[in-house]
Structure 1
């Protein structure tokens, strides 16, 4: 392992249920009802990609960027008002990797300003050398684009990178990029198929970086 790459939603912050609730509420305003089970398949995808699907299917008079901004504004307000904390064990893991001089990056489907907001809110922005948003890429997870770009930005071969993911789409993206993938079975991320991952952990504290 020469680099460690984190997904953000469902890995650093337990935000998947919040994304789910907020996106579905925005869709419901437009008379589009989506069940939790139906929505789980979109976990890990960029919100612009998700909104693009529903905009095209329902001929909505918005752009994906407009709806994504509404979603992120609502999410930021919720995080601040409810004092949302990092996922248990994630800060010590980041600190341990940093202490071993392992380059760290975030490869998230969230917009870059949301990634920056979250890392600053949790006081961990100084640990990361690279922050990459999937919204800046033509193909969202499960395509490998975001992980290939992150490895390129780190100047480290994908085969020397470890990725931490909580979703089916994310784990497929990491593996398709040629990385070693740790699947985090976060129950709040829905019933995700993490079979693409090399290993699956139920708690962040189960990750032993000395074995990577």
Structure 2
């Protein structure tokens, strides 16, 4: 039985991973470090503090994590506001169908709250979500299960009766660690992500509907 459906955001609702990759590469360049996009793929789905903490240590960056994030996040929001972009194909239809079937909807993103709100405002989509939570608002970000367990709690749903839509290895691992069913969406722009831990893998959000969700929850 499906009690709640929880969306990741980056790479699922908005095709933002190219933005993240480009800004993160430019951010590291600004602070004197050269890195290729492919080297950032393993961090997809992680929170900013956790990602930059690891990168800062690996590349011996002198600036603090807070300084790096301040520069990076300001650039990302500026770019987001100037882009002519729509939600990923099929997202609107899936959200509307879920609402029509009275299935509570949550959003659980590793992005900072300010970026989440900027995306939802751009798409005028906030009202559809019964709960919105950032990975920076729980003790541990993805691949730890904290964010999904908190989303289930806020939605009043049992983890085993929740389904998650994710596009990253870290996100899938978090959903499964929370004891939830997980759909892995293959988004080529999210890089080379191992989604083999998902219960169902799709190549288009249009391949997912309430009928398939209900079947997968049996």
Offset of 1:59 from its aligned partner? 4.5
User: Conserved in 1, the CA contact under 8 Å of 2:97 and 2:209?
Assistant: no
Measured against aligned partners, the alpha-carbon deviations of 1:157-210 in whole angstroms (never above 9, x if no partner) come to 110101000000000110110000000000000111100100000000000211
Q: Under a length normalisation based on structure 1, what TM-score does the superposition of the two structures give?
A: 0.95
Residue 16 (structure 2) aligns with: 15
SS at match of 1:188: helix
Alpha-carbon separation, structure 2, partners of 1:138 and 1:14: 27
User: Conserved in 1, the CA contact under 8 Å of 2:167 and 2:185?
Assistant: yes
Residue 165 (structure 1) aligns with: 166
Alpha-carbon separation, structure 2, partners of 1:182 and 1:57: 32
SS at match of 2:45: coil
SS at match of 2:165: strand
Alpha-carbon separation, structure 2, partners of 1:181 and 1:105: 14
Flag structure 2 segments of 5+ consecutive residues without an equivalent.
Answer: 214-218
SS at match of 2:157: coil
Question: Which 10-residue stretch deviates more, 52-61 or 195-204?
Answer: 52-61
Count the aligned residue pairs. 212
Alpha-carbon separation, structure 2, partners of 1:82 and 1:166: 22
Residue 128 (structure 1) aligns with: 129
Residue 28 (structure 2) aligns with: 27
Q: Under a length normalisation based on structure 2, what TM-score does the superposition of the two structures give?
A: 0.92
Flag structure 1 segments of 5+ consecutive residues without an equivalent.
Answer: none
Residue 119 (structure 1) aligns with: 120
Note if 1:93 corresponds to 2:83: no
User: Conserved in 2, the CA contact under 8 Å of 1:49 and 1:64?
Assistant: no
User: Conserved in 2, the CA contact under 8 Å of 1:112 and 1:132?
Assistant: yes
Measured against aligned partners, the alpha-carbon deviations of 1:87-115 in whole angstroms (never above 9, x if no partner) come to 11111111111111111111000011211
